[in-house]
Structure 1
């Protein structure tokens, strides 16, 4: 009886959590298909879906150049951040380094640093080295900002690997780099994919840095362009809903493609 009650409670919680995510998403889709200029008070599928709202939002907001900018930034930031985090996490977990504890604490302190606290100094730094109004003005700070979490994530994974496996490879004459590449990395696929997806999501959703460090509207990220779009067409709910779906579509597609690896990586982190 106790197991049955626990199962019902767990299923009820999962159902409520799923509904809290799915219902707003369905409402957003429903709103995006309503006639332009109408206000939808409830979740209701339109009798005549206006698919042209997506084309209108794409053209009016200039999402072509905005999505290209977000893609350029994310495609560069993600591999740089993942590779650097993996190398640092491996060193923190398996090597004897002087001051390793203090260095790791320094990286963890970076998790508490908000973008709002660094965006003004970053603006003057990027201007002094001539990177203002370029993609690198956003790419370099983001790669550094993602490092603390990535190092913590990969260090936790490498520490879960049996130490005997690493020692056996060392006895066989394998170098530290070979141990990482040929023994540990192949088993870290779920953790790496999860970290890559999280970094991609954070880079894609970047708003503040792109808004401050890139003054050319055509070079800004999709979320920052969506913010401008909201200011211009704030009263046209269907158009805004269509624009919002366009911005979140790449993240949703990547998640559905890699959802098994993502869930596996998250569960590994929970178990550790």
Structure 2
């Protein structure tokens, strides 16, 4: 009887999951099918063409110069993600584990930083970057992103370190470990799930960054791939199949990264929910 009740109780949840899956997957299927239509046409509805035009993906890759865009996005990601993770890990360890005087005030300041919308600061940020002489360079994207990611990244890592058992620190101190040794050799290895999930989030956000790229950088080949899509759309916006093919090419790297690291990402989220 209890098993039947459990199954019945789980039916609404399964229905909701199925509906959410449909809502999420259908737009991607629509874009994919549209990308297979003849270049220059205006497809209507979700229907496969009689002859799929896979060459649209090759043409979109060549027209948008995706090779150069991949290199540019890779440079930006490799600059933003490691630096952001290093700074946020050290700050999260200090606020969540060492807890120096004023740590609560600093934590509240970072929490307030989470409420700061990018759209609200893009204008003063533009003038600040221009005064630094960094407009139309990749640094115009890298440096602001590092600063904008700090509130979330520090709060994320603090949530991990604040839940670490005090016995681990006491044992390391008894063995003569310094604060740096405690951080680097003890706490950081234990923080790998939190670090991996944070790295995935920062990668996705950086790769898909659009607003900063189009406002602060004029050269499409110095933007992120998502930012370069704006220039691609301006030139080929009337060619819907080619535009959809380009959008899917831009989406592919983020999808691959998530599929490869999804277990680490989900385990970190579940670990955080248990601690909460």
TM, length-normalised to structure 2: 0.93
Task: Tell me which residue corresponds to 2:57.
Answer: 54
SS in 2 for 1:112: coil
Which is further off, 91-100 or 183-192? 183-192
Task: Kindly provide the CA deviation profile for residues 228-247 of structure 1, in whole angstroms up to 9, marking residues without a partner as x.
Answer: 22232223221111010011
Residue 3 (str. 1) matches residue 6 (str. 2):
yes
- Aligned pairs for 1:93-112 within 5 A: 93-112=96-115
Which of 12, 33, 36 is 1:33 aligned to? 36
Task: Tell me which residue corresponds to 2:196.
Answer: 193
Question: Which ranges in structure 2 are unaligned for 5 or more consecutive residues?
Answer: none
Which of 7, 13, 18 is 1:15 aligned to? 18
Question: Which ranges in structure 1 are unaligned for 5 or more consecutive residues?
Answer: none
SS in 2 for 1:10: helix
Which of 140, 143, 149 is 2:143 aligned to? 140
Residue 114 (str. 1) matches residue 113 (str. 2):
no
Task: Tell me which residue corresponds to 2:126.
Answer: 123
Residue 43 (str. 1) matches residue 43 (str. 2):
no
Which is further off, 85-94 or 167-176? 167-176
8 A contact 1:63–1:225 mirrored in 2? no
Residue 158 (str. 1) matches residue 161 (str. 2):
yes
Task: Kindly provide the CA deviation profile for residues 209-244 of structure 1, in whole angstroms up to 9, marking residues without a partner as x.
Answer: 111211223212211221222232223221111010
Calculate the aligned-residue CA RMSD, in Å. 1.5
Alignment coverage as a number of residue pairs: 272
Deviation at residue 30 of structure 1 after TM alignment = 1.3
Residue 225 (str. 1) matches residue 239 (str. 2):
no
SS in 1 for 2:244: helix
